[in-house]
Amino acid sequence: MRALTKYDDLDELLIEEHVALPAERPADRALVRLNMISSVDGGSAVDGVSGGLGNRDDHAVFAALRDQADFVLVGLSTVVAEQYGPPAQDDLQILVVAPTPDVSGNPSLFETGRATFVLGEAAPPTPSGVPDMRVGKGTSVDLAGLVRELRGQVVMLEGGPSLAGVMVSLGLVDEFFHTAAPMVVAGESARITHGPAADAHAWGLMHGFCDDAGYLFLRYARDGSAR
Ligand SMILES: NC(=O)c1ccc[n+]([C@@H]2O[C@H](COP(=O)([O-])OP(=O)(O)OC[C@H]3O[C@@H](n4cnc5c(N)ncnc54)[C@H](OP(=O)(O)O)[C@@H]3O)[C@@H](O)[C@H]2O)c1
C-alpha cells in the first residue's frame, strides 16, 4: 500500500500504477473490475447522476481504467441516467444489462452500434441494427454465465448500484476502485452497491492516493492481502 499522499499535480504514472492490471487473473472467466464514486456519507448520486460527485482526477482514473478494458458492463438505468455516449476507445464495446431491450432512454447511443444489449433468452428482440448477447433462460441475465463467456477478457463494471450489488453478492467482482468525494450530500441515493447481501470478509487494500482537492482513490482486491 502506497502511503496516502496529496498530489498537487496528479501525474499519469501514479494513475497508471493505480489501475495496472493484476498479475494473476481468473482462468475460467473474465477479470471484473468495479469502479464507483461516492460522497463520504455514502451517496452515489447528486440530482440523480454521479457526475455531481466527480472531478478531473476521477475522470482521469475512469478513463485509464477504460483504457485497460475489453468491455464496459453497465445497467440500462445508468446508461439512461448518465446519457452514456460511445466510448473514446475505438475497440471498446459497452455491454448493457437489461430485462428488455428498451432503447428509448438513450437512442443515440444504441444507433452507434457501440452498445450491445445483454439479455435473457426470453427477452424481446432488439430493434434492427442493435446488437445483443443472450445469456440465461427467462428474462433475467445469467451474470455468472456472462463472465464465463467473456473468459480471458477484462470487464470494467461501471454500475449502477443495483447491477454492482448483484455482481458483488454473486462473488463476480475481483477488484473495486472506489473514489470518495469530499462531499456530504445526504439525500436518498442508493449506496454504491445495494441489493442482496455479499460475503462480508475483508478485501485487500492494494493502492491508494489523495488528490489536491481531497478526493480519495482506493483500490481493493477481493482475494488480495493488504499491502
Ligand atoms: N456513484 C457511481 O459511481 C454511479 C455509477 C453508476 C450509476 N450511478 C447512478 O446510479 C443510478 C442508476 O443505478 P441503478 O442501480 O438504479 O440501476 P443500474 O444498476 O444501472 O441498472 C439496473 C438495470 O439492470 C437490470 N438488471 C440488473 N441485473 C439484471 C439481470 N441479472 N438480468 C437482467 N437485467 C438486470 C435491472 O433490471 P430490473 O429492472 O429487472 O431490476 C435494471 O433495468 C443513477 O442515478 C446513476 O447516476 C452512480
pLDDT tens readout for residues 173-183: 999 999 999 99
pLDDT at res. 227 = 47
In a domain, 21, yes or no: no
Report the domain count for the chain: 1
Q: Find out whether 118 and 157 touch, Cβ atoms under 8 Å.
A: no
In a domain, 19, yes or no: no
**pLDDT band of 225, cuts 50, 70, 90:** low
Residue 162 predicted with pLDDT over 70:
yes
Give me ligand 1 centre to Cα 51, in Å. Answer: 16
**DSSP of 140-197:** S--HHHHHHHTTTSEEEE---HHHHHHHHHTT---EEEEEEES----SSPPPSS-SS-
In a domain, 111, yes or no: yes
β-strand pairing of 154-157 with 31-39: parallel
In a domain, 72, yes or no: yes
In a domain, 74, yes or no: yes
pLDDT tens digits along 48-67: 999 899 999 999 999 999 99
In a domain, 94, yes or no: yes
pLDDT tens digits along 134-156: 999 999 999 999 999 999 999 99
Q: What CATH number has the domain bearing residue 152?
A: 3.40.430.10
User: Which residues form the domain of 36?
Assistant: 26-45+68-196
- Ligand 1 pocket, 76 CB below 6 A? yes
In a domain, 13, yes or no: no
pLDDT tens digits along 176-211: 999 999 999 999 999 999 999 999 999 999 999 999
Give me ligand 1 centre to Cα 76, in Å. Answer: 6
In a domain, 75, yes or no: yes
